[in-house]
Amino acid sequence: LRMDSLLQRFEFVRVLDSNPQTKVVSLLGHIDSQHAIVTLEKTHFNTDDARCSCADAVQETREIAANDIYHWAVALLKQDIQTNPAAKVNVIWPATPVHVRKYSQQALHLVRESPQLYERVVAPWVKEQATPERLRWVHDILYNGAEQERVVYRDFTGAEHGNGNGKNDGFLVLPDMKWDGVSLDALYLVALVYRDDVRSLRDLRPQHREWLIALNNRIRAVVPACYNYALHADELRIFVHYPPSYYHFHIHVVNIRHPGLGDGIAAGRAVLLEDVIESLGYLGELGFMNRTLTYVMGENHELWSRGLQDAVAQQLEKDGIPKRPPVLNRES
């Protein structure tokens, strides 16, 4: 189904989340009696074209107030679907319960994932997650021509580093689903690797270091060239998420000016690729499998109820952190 038709058939059920800072709202509903998530994000102003002033786009105003040298009003903007769209729309349909939980507003917690906790609670879940169905979009981009016209770079030279099992070590770069493709200020790309033996940061070992260095260098060499050198290699924030939503190794490549959507670039979620490479020089032969990783986790995440909640409670107790006084309990 095309986007227009998806939106026409969308029957609204409830608001999952709404963020006044990122100007994003996520709605849950049904399309043909299956769950659908519609995410609307107001676009940023396009200041890339030096000839155009954003103020020109103001079509109509209604003054709110004025005081001394200060004036404020609400405005209607001239919009144009090609160069100046009002919003970006994402639809996930049919949405799985994992998607609904991910896009719902939820309480957050800081989790310390030791190697033992990973083995006991997280690894079995990751195994369940890395199904062909959940990763179909990745596979379709790599092998079945999905989004082909959008791929900005494809590289097979990484193959020379080998990964021991003969799999292709190449990668490709394309615009992330999070980017409207218009405003370079919000440039957001994703690099997908062909090899499928690295599910996340956890799987990285010292033998991956050279490969990651080559990857980092290729990304920094080609991305500025793909965008007419509007931004330079040192103006890209290149990072991985831990934990990721999709367990096939990929790298986020974002304009350094972009504050990130939600907590996507915040401490406790994003790890700079440079830091990953640096750490692999010290972590010993088990690499990240040997490290405690601390991150932010939402209560809706399946891992929270499958063991992380109990682990956090035990950690706090062991660390001697006083329990929340009953009077401050949310329930009371």
Residues marked active site are found at: 250
- Give the whole-angstrom CA distance, residue 113 versus residue 44: 36
Binding flag, residue 158, ligand M7G (CB under 6 A): no
Binding flag, residue 227, ligand M7G (CB under 6 A): no
User: Minimum distance from CB of 7 to ligand M7G (Å)?
Assistant: 18
Amino acid occupying residue 257: R
The bridge status of strand 108-113 relative to strand 236-241 is: unpaired
- Give the whole-angstrom CA distance, residue 286 versus residue 115: 10
Q: State yes or no: cis peptide before 244, omega within 30 of 0.
A: no
Choosing from 101, 152, 176, 205, the residue that interacts with ligand M7G (CB under 6 A) is 176
Instruction: Identify the three-state secondary structure at position 275.
Output: helix
CA distances from 72 to 53, 56, 57, 134, 247 (A): 19, 16, 16, 47, 47
Choosing from 48, 147, 180, 203, the residue that interacts with ligand M7G (CB under 6 A) is 147
Binding flag, residue 264, ligand M7G (CB under 6 A): yes
Choosing from 190, 212, 219, 293, the residue that interacts with ligand M7G (CB under 6 A) is 190
Label residue 181 left, alpha or beta by phi (over 0 means left) and psi (-120 to 50 means alpha).
left
Q: Hey, what are 161's tokens?
A: 């580093």
Strand-pair partners of 250 = 192
Q: Measured from the CB atom, is 23 or 161 closer to ligand M7G? A: 23
Q: Hey, what are 239's tokens?
A: 């990072």
Choosing from 174, 191, 223, 311, the residue that interacts with ligand M7G (CB under 6 A) is 174
Rg of the chain over Cα atoms, rounded to whole angstroms, equals 22
Q: Measured from the CB atom, is 125 or 246 closer to ligand M7G? A: 246
H or E segment and range at residue 67: strand 58-67
User: Minimum distance from CB of 261 to ligand M7G (Å)?
Assistant: 8
Choosing from 19, 79, 245, 314, the residue that interacts with ligand M7G (CB under 6 A) is 245
Amino acid occupying residue 125: W
Binding flag, residue 180, ligand M7G (CB under 6 A): no
Q: Indicate the length of the chain as a whole number.
A: 332
User: Minimum distance from CB of 268 to ligand M7G (Å)?
Assistant: 13
Q: Measured from the CB atom, is 208 or 250 closer to ligand M7G? A: 250
User: Minimum distance from CB of 322 to ligand M7G (Å)?
Assistant: 33
Binding flag, residue 173, ligand M7G (CB under 6 A): no
- Asked if 30 and 41 count as a contact pair (C-beta separation under 8 A), the reply is no
Q: Measured from the CB atom, is 99 or 208 closer to ligand M7G? A: 99
Binding flag, residue 99, ligand M7G (CB under 6 A): no
Q: Which stretch binds ligand M7G (CB under 6 A): 21-29, 110-118, 170-178, 302-310?
A: 170-178
Binding flag, residue 244, ligand M7G (CB under 6 A): yes
Q: Hey, what are 269's tokens?
A: 């979620």
Binding flag, residue 137, ligand M7G (CB under 6 A): yes
- Asked if 190 and 174 count as a contact pair (C-beta separation under 8 A), the reply is yes
Please give the angle made by the CA atoms of 221, 172 and 269, to the nearest 5 degrees. Answer: 85
- Give the whole-angstrom CA distance, residue 326 versus residue 275: 41
Amino acid occupying residue 127: K
Binding flag, residue 241, ligand M7G (CB under 6 A): yes
Q: Which stretch binds ligand M7G (CB under 6 A): 65-73, 218-226, 246-254, 273-281?
A: 246-254
Binding flag, residue 131, ligand M7G (CB under 6 A): no
Binding flag, residue 301, ligand M7G (CB under 6 A): no
Q: Which stretch binds ligand M7G (CB under 6 A): 57-65, 75-83, 154-162, 169-177?
A: 169-177
Task: Catalog residues that contact ligand M7G under the rule CB under 6 A.
Answer: 137, 147, 174-178, 190, 241, 244-246, 250, 252, 264
